Amino acid sequence: MKGIGWKNLKRDKTRMLVAVLGVVFAVVLVTTEVGMLLGLVRNASLLIDRSRADIWVSTVDVKTFDFATPFAQRKKYLIQSVPGVERVEEFNVSYSIWKLPTGGNANIQVVAFDPWGELAAPLSMTEGSLDDLHNQDAIIIDDGERAKLGNPAVGSYVEVMQHRAKVVGFTHDMRSFTTTPYVFTTLSRSETYGWLTNGNSGPSNSIYFLVKVAPGANVDEVRRAIQGSVPDVEAHSRESFSWRTRSYWLFETGMGLGFLAAAFLGLMVGGVIVSQTLYAMTIERLPEFGVLKAMGASMFDLARIVLEQGLICGLVGLVLGLAISLGIGQAAASAGTTVLIPQPLVLAVAALTFLLCSAAALVSIVRLRKIEPAMVFRT
């Protein structure tokens, strides 16, 4: 019975078009929703994942990278003294205010790290150089955040937390998960541009310490040793801290559920469209299926025709849907939103599409099971 499904579709182009559109709708929604979610989640833990630290040390019960609380800077020396620790670097993240040219303010996240250090995530520069960060009042921002920050250029002077700052360079694709842009600067300026208390008004504070373990040392053992010997801190492996950050946004805020629900809804709507179209085609051709059954075609033969129709619609819809999704991804990127469509997502969407079309065909196949071959003499 090979080929009959395709010929049926060719003869009924309108229905084929409707079924393909149903698949396209589902593919585009699933791919872009999940792609956006992946993009957001990747950004959420970007600075953790790209860091070269084995262990991140924070205060206890930090839920996510963005919402850590300060602790005494002097604990660095306690961490340094733990056996197996090779190197410790301070890494600060704090919210701050950027004065816009219009007179308004924009919230920002000041990310301060040691430019001579080895453990923070390297900045992918598109303009300027990391070395320029050593200049006075220097800051670096991401090129995707320019518009949000009043379109500064390299060399522009801006106001951050009522202090003068100079934009010395731009990164690419290093954007915050939240809507607040990252502003990269040195540790010494984190107290000027951020909320952290400095040594003049009390003990100096830090947000994170990045730890590199000595060659041959076990990361988990060192992590537990830090927690055991330094009071009121939590030491995370890079992977576990990354996952904690992602899972916070995904599950605790309901954001992930929202995206997945939208994707699921798209899948269901697309599935219903395909299913109804295939069913209508099957009902219209019921006498033909009856004839085939009367001639001795097995249920497998008949199911194969409907399945073929579903899978062809699925394949055409998948190709078109993915092409449209990639286009949306590119358009979104130029508008500053990351939509990640990695190969595993494409494969998953393809598998889901074929599953969807098979399930949609199943409704028709169940109907075909009920055909009495004797119907051929009544039609």
Residues that bind another protein (CB under 8 A): 1, 4, 7-8, 10-12, 285, 287-288, 290-298, 301, 372-374, 376-379
Judged by beta carbon, residue 10 or residue 63, the one nearer another protein is 10
Judged by beta carbon, residue 359 or residue 374, the one nearer another protein is 374
Judged by beta carbon, residue 48 or residue 312, the one nearer another protein is 312
Judged by beta carbon, residue 13 or residue 63, the one nearer another protein is 13
Distance of CA 316 to the CA centre of its chain: 27
Judged by beta carbon, residue 13 or residue 74, the one nearer another protein is 13
Question: What count of Cα atoms within 13 Å lies in the side-chain half-sphere of residue 22?
Answer: 27
Task: Report in angstroms how near the CB of residue 356 gets to another protein at its nearest.
Answer: 24
Task: Report in angstroms how near the CB of residue 374 gets to another protein at its nearest.
Answer: 4
Judged by beta carbon, residue 94 or residue 309, the one nearer another protein is 309
In the chain, helix, strand, coil percent, each to 5? 55, 20, 25
Task: Report in angstroms how near the CB of residue 16 gets to another protein at its nearest.
Answer: 12
Q: Which amino acid is at 379?
A: T
Task: Report in angstroms how near the CB of residue 312 gets to another protein at its nearest.
Answer: 13
Judged by beta carbon, residue 99 or residue 285, the one nearer another protein is 285
Q: Which residue has the tokens 């839920």?
A: 63
What are the φ/ψ torsions at residue 159 (nearest 5 degrees)? Answer: -120, 120
Which among 209, 178, 228 has a CA at the least distance from the CA of 57? Answer: 209
Which among 78, 46, 57 has a CA at the least distance from the CA of 211? Answer: 57
Return the HEC string of 136-184: CCEEEEEHHHCHHHCCCCCCCEEEECCEEEEEEEEECCCCCCCCCCEEE
| Rounded CA separation 44/317 (Å) | 32
Q: Collapse the DSSP code of 64 into the 3-class scheme (helix H, G, I; strand E, B; otherwise coil) and give the result.
A: coil
Q: Which residue has the tokens 């949000």?
A: 148
| Rounded CA separation 136/131 (Å) | 12
| Rounded CA separation 191/229 (Å) | 27
Torsion of CA 229, 113, 143, 42, to 10 degrees: -10
What are the φ/ψ torsions at residue 51 (nearest 5 degrees)? Answer: -75, 160
Task: Report in angstroms how near the CB of residue 12 gets to another protein at its nearest.
Answer: 8
Question: What count of Cα atoms within 13 Å lies in the side-chain half-sphere of residue 325?
Answer: 28
Whether the CB-CB separation of 354 and 319 falls below 8 Å is answered with no
Judged by beta carbon, residue 97 or residue 297, the one nearer another protein is 297
Judged by beta carbon, residue 260 or residue 376, the one nearer another protein is 376
- In this structure, what DSSP letter does residue 66 have? G
Judged by beta carbon, residue 6 or residue 264, the one nearer another protein is 6
Which among 139, 134, 176, 129 has a CA at the least distance from the CA of 159? Answer: 139
For 296, residues 6+ apart whose C-beta sits below 8 A from its C-beta are none
| Rounded CA separation 291/297 (Å) | 9
